[in-house]
Amino acid sequence: MTALEKINAPPTRLGGTALYDWDYLVQDDRAHRLIYTDPAIFEAEMTNIFGGTWTYLAHESEIPNDNDFITRRLGLRPLVIVRDSNGKIRALYNRCTHRGTTLCRWDKGNTKSFQCPYHGWNFLNTGKLRGVPWPEGYAEDMRDPKYNIAQVPRVESYRGFIFATLNMDALPLIEHLGPIAKIIDEWLDRNPGGKVVVCEANRFRYKGNWKLAYDNSCDGYHVAYSHRSLLETENRFAGENAKGMAYYRNSPDTQPMYMRYTGHGNHFKDKRPNLEKRPGGLWALESAHPGMEHYEAEFIRRYGDRAFALLDLAGSEPVNINVFPNFSLLGNHIQVFEPVGVEETNAIWYGTMIVDDGSVPTDAVTDINALRMRTQEGFPNFGEVDDIANFEQIQRGLIAPEDEWVYMNRGFGIPDRIKTHDDGTITAPATDEAFMREHFKEWKRLMKARPNLAIQREP
């Protein structure tokens, strides 16, 4: 019996050895501390969540050319994401089929083949074993497909975002994304050519469970308190409530911003209704960054009436678009959560650039991307550190075994506060924990399931 079967074994099978009652551990308005602290539950998540549902891996712009590769992980599984010599995107297990060592030890690069550093087996970037040193030493036919690199059987992109799952029964990616696909469209379509390319990243690692980050991804309740110093810094030269997320001060639930749950664990915090709808509305909200005044004056000089619409392309889009379990679009970032262990997680903020599609003057594209680097340094440096401090302190608090529950009951049980719409999505005021209650229903569904996981190899 695998660890997962033991955790999940129903009473009628396998001698009734189920270790966990998922309905007890995750209830309507609270979750048990064990789901954040128990190594066996974490191990089960690496199969049932990071394997059982679609997980974000990378952006196509990170491997733009044939033979490009980057290394990533699916849960804890080390992967090489390649665009093979025929242009096909694959997620290869970064594991030599001989004795299991890490095959590719570079973060990224371009190669038609991978040679294992241990004994020199050589693999094409399709995963096929190309040759072994001194083959006459093998009685067996080394062309047997079992020696080809294992790969993730289902890899699909949505408008450049590459997701993967091992679950042969998972819905097609587009159906899985459902209504959040349209929200991703809106995030992309404000950019020239309807696309962005990924540049480098701010990388954080915190001592806490990965779910603490996802639980926070749509949380509008903490902003005024956890990010107080950020709000004060942003508004120091601009007066009260003018910059950044200052609209979370005072009475955030009466603001036009809201949260929307779109199904399958995915949710959206929409702060765009708080903006003034005019060219420059987004730019006006941006807090102070080095060089802003210079670029603003220069854009007005160069582009006249068009300057502020162009500057908006450097402004941080006020959204949090979250795809369960590990992906967020916020501001102009792609944020990815990578579990490292039950109490350790990477939180990586990839910056994005706009592309020159001819619709924006070329020198403006360069300058907008220079400005985006500044605007994208702001939140990771001054905001994410606040969030990570919370995650680590929660993990510390959850050590106490007798104090068992984490509450997510804000907005729960108040008539008419939460609305279900015709398309099945749910909206609630910005500080509600409805998003968390909903993504935990998906978590529980996946943890109870027996996913049909598979790997494949080239024939």
Site for ligand FES, rule CB under 6 A: 96, 98-99, 101, 116, 118-121
Q: Find the part of the chain contacting Fe ion (CB under 5 A) among 364-372, 382-390, 405-413, 451-459.
A: 382-390
Give the one entry of Fe ion, ligand FES, none that residue 116 binds, where binding means its C-beta sits below a cut-off of 5 to 8 angstroms depending on kind. ligand FES
- Exposed/middle/buried for residue 398 (C-beta within 10 Å: 0-12, 13-18, 19+): buried
For ligand FES, which is the closer residue by CB, 13 or 119?
119
387 binds, among Fe ion, ligand FES, none (CB under 5 to 8 A by kind): Fe ion
Shortest separation between residue 418's beta carbon and ligand FES, angstroms: 54
Shortest distance, position 383 Cβ to Fe ion, whole Å:
6
From the list ligand FES, Fe ion, none, pick the one residue 98 interacts with, judged by a Cβ distance below 5 to 8 Å according to partner type: ligand FES
Binding-site partner at residue 291 among ligand FES, Fe ion, none, CB < 5 to 8 Å by type: none
User: In angstroms, rounded to a whole number, what is the distance separating the alpha carbons of residues 327 and 110?
Assistant: 26
- The answer to the question of residue 312 lying near Fe ion (CB under 5 A) is no
- Least Å distance, CB 84 to ligand FES, is 20
Compare residues 4 and 103 and give the one whose CB is closer to ligand FES.
103
Smallest separation (angstroms) from Fe ion to the CB of 452 = 37
**Region of 42-50, 126-134, 242-250, 379-387 interacting with Fe ion (CB under 5 A):** 379-387
Nearest approach, Cβ of residue 94 and ligand FES (Å): 12
In this chain, which stretch among 71-79, 187-195, 270-278, 381-389 interacts with Fe ion, using CB under 5 A?
Answer: 381-389
Binding pattern for the stretch 338-377 against Fe ion, x by CB under 5 A and - elsewhere:
----------------------------------------
Between the CA atoms of 332, 336, 337 and 339, what dihedral angle is there, to the nearest 10 degrees? -160
Among 84, 215, 312, 387, binds Fe ion (CB under 5 A): 387
| Residue 234, contacted partner among Fe ion, ligand FES, none, CB below 5-8 A by kind | none
Residue closer to ligand FES by CB (options 101, 427) is 101
Please state the closest distance from residue 143 (CB atom) to ligand FES, in A. 16
User: How far is 260 from 230, CA to CA, in rounded Å?
Assistant: 25
List interacting residues with Fe ion (CB under 5 A). 387
